[in-house]
Amino acid sequence: MINKIFGNMFENSRKLNELNILDMLNYNPNKNILDLGCDNGEWTIKLSRKMGTKKIYGIEIVEERINDAKNKGINVKKADLNSKFPFENESFDVIHANQVIEHISNLDIFISEIYRVLKKGGYIIISTENGSSWHNIFAGIMGWQIFSLTNISSRKMGIGNPLAIHRGEKLNLSSWTHKTIFNFLGLKELLEAYGFVVYEIKGSGYYPLPAFFGKIDARHAHFLTIKAYKK
């Protein structure tokens, strides 16, 4: 029963987070977009429609997901996001990464590559879970693994947290494990360290209250979404 309640709250938070991302996109059919970790391309297409563009690119590592995305008309290249991106300098107007950065083991390469392939005046939108969310703080006080860091092994999900939604299930892909969870200030200052100018930060999810409370207090929301420009 508790897991079902948490599952519903998570889903509401996830949907609001997607709306936050879409709100940050500027309409401009002449601009292109690169989706990092584009998966099967379903969400990537929604992003491109909000921008009004057909210039859609992606990076993905899972072969079957790459094929699905290509079938949707996305120009996808297979690559590890912990390595150099397979694109030239200043190739993109917009770069997006939703629920990706927490899976990255080499953040210096990841952020520096985003900066390299982004055009001057272009912007990035990065969304991830928030280590300072109230439910993560509660888990830490209890001596549990915080909710956002329970998927640290492909062998078993929900490690160290008895209330984790998928506790005990097997994680199919090792690339889906969480490596780094950011707090509000940490994500902001990491981007600033590489020369980005942070424009906006939005939150969604605020357990046990309704998801929209996260928009009022992003510092303690479940999801953080940040928009930053390259000078």
- Per DSSP, the three-state class of 65 is helix
Structural domains of the chain in order of their starting residue, each with its CATH number: 2-230 (3.40.50.150)
Q: How confident is the model at residue 10 (pLDDT cuts 50, 70, 90)?
A: confident
| Burial bucket for residue 14 (CB in 10 Å: 0-12, 13-18, 19+) | middle
93 vs 231, residue with greater confidence: 93
Separation CA 114–CA 109 (nearest Å): 8
Q: How confident is the model at residue 36 (pLDDT cuts 50, 70, 90)?
A: very high
pTM for this structure? 0.93
Residues 83-105: tens digit of each pLDDT = 999 999 999 999 999 999 999 99
Separation CA 25–CA 188 (nearest Å): 19
Query: How many helices (H) does the chain have, and how many strands (E)?
Result: 7, 7
Q: Is the backbone peptide bond immediately before 86 cis, with ω within 30 degrees of 0?
A: no
> Going by DSSP bridges, is the β-strand pair 196-204/92-98 parallel, antiparallel, or unpaired?
unpaired
1-8 average pLDDT score: 62
54-61 average pLDDT score: 97
Residues 172-226: tens digit of each pLDDT = 777 789 999 999 999 999 999 999 999 999 999 999 899 999 999 999 999 999 9
Residue 8 has pLDDT above 70, yes or no: yes
Separation CA 127–CA 175 (nearest Å): 17
